Chains A and B, each alone.
Chain A
Amino acid sequence: MNNGPDQNDRMIAEAFHGEWSEGASAKFALAAARAARRRMVRRRSVVGAAAALGMAAALAFAFRHLRLESNAPEVLEAFHSAEPARAYEIISDQELLAELKDRPLLAVQNRDGGTEFLLLEY
């Protein structure tokens, strides 16, 4: 009688381990099942932690971006106020005449032919 490999394998296995589905060897399978479950739990924890970290990073970035936008006018104001004060001011002819009204002004001819104006103060 020619028997399949499964029957031979079963006979050999049970010759060394007794009832294959109930004996000590069956505990190998249950131990492996527990190991697989622990591995699934660990993987889920890692994936969950990575997702939480990613969300936290995204929220932090968004919050920082909002803060930057709300501070913009202050920044511009600080920028503009940082301009150095000029030592002169350009005014129109009318403004100049208004300043010089009833005030003595001396016109001096320079040697090179130019004219220099001096304001005579009391």
Chain B
Amino acid sequence: MRLSGSTPFLPLVLPAPVTKSPQAPLRELTLALQRGNDVAWQEFHGNYGPRLFRQLLAATRGDHDLASDALQQTYLRVARSIQPCDSEPMFVSWLRVVARSVLHDCWRRRRSFWQMLHRRHADPSDPALFESEDGGDRMMACLDNALGQLDPDDRALLEAKYFSGTDVRTLAEKLMISSKAAESRLTRARAELRRLMISALSRHE
């Protein structure tokens, strides 16, 4: 559930885009990824990258450096092992397994793996990594809380951008500011959201 914006000067709900750009059939995409096609990889990054990053961020409890490192390694491992695939659920499951394996390797390298084991030993009730199908209800709750704590203007800006699909130029027009100013405000809103999420995620330790 999302909080509705309360900003008087910003339209609350703008129509969502009808469809996103048509996605190549999965088989064609995976074949193109295997060949190293730049456009296919950019499409993969746009469609699957955010989900992978969110899962990694949840598993690392907000350690975005580690999550980013693991995301990059996940992409490289996908490049090494990908095979043509027709099934979206199967492909997504495979990506999750690859990401989990990469994260474990990253942990071992960073030694924080041992810290996690100690944490598990100290508190056996600690929820498991990748505990649920979509990377953790905890992550979504954390996002909801962080949005709730944001300044209403910032919240409305983020909701318009991500939930209504409004582009920056249209946002700028509605706010009667320049595109550059709108981007700056968006960057500040994201930074604040990030700060709140890291604080919430690390508090679970």
Contacts and interface: CB of A to CB of B under 8 A. Distances in A.
A7 interface: yes
A32 B75 contact: yes
Interface in A7-44: 7-18, 20-21, 25-26, 28-40
B2 A13 contact: no
A25 B4 CA distance: 30
How would you classify the secondary structure of chain A's contact residues: helix, strand, loop or mixed?
helix
A60 B67 CA distance: 56
Contacts of A37: 35-36
A2 interface: yes
Interface string B75-86: 110111010000
Interface residues of A, number: 34
A6 B33 CA distance: 21
Interface in B79-118: 79-80, 82
B46 A8 contact: no
B49 A25 contact: yes
B10 interface: no
A5 B57 contact: no
B143 interface: yes
Contact of B143 (A12, A25, A29): A12
Interface in B111-170: 134, 139-140, 143, 158-159, 161-163
A39 B79 contact: yes
A33 B35 CA distance: 8
Given A8-B54, A11-B143, A11-B193, A25 B71 contact: yes
Nearest to B2: A1
A31 B4 CA distance: 39
Nearest to B20: A6
A28 B79 contact: no
Nearest to A4: B163
Contacts of B29: none
A81 interface: no
Contact of A28 (B38, B72, B161): B72
B79 A8 contact: no
A24 B82 CA distance: 23
A9 to B, nearest CB: 4
Interface of B: 1-2, 4, 13, 33-38, 40-42, 44-46, 49-51, 53-54, 57, 64, 67-68, 71-72, 75-76, 78-80, 82, 134, 139-140, 143, 158-159, 161-163, 187, 190-191, 193-194, 197
Given A18-B190, A20-B46, A29-B75, 19 more contacts: A1-B4, A3-B162, A6-B50, A11-B158, A12-B57, A12-B197, A14-B50, A14-B190, A15-B191, A16-B64, A16-B68, A28-B49, A29-B42, A33-B38, A36-B33, A36-B34, A36-B35, A37-B36, A38-B36
Interface of A: 1-3, 5-18, 20-21, 25-26, 28-40
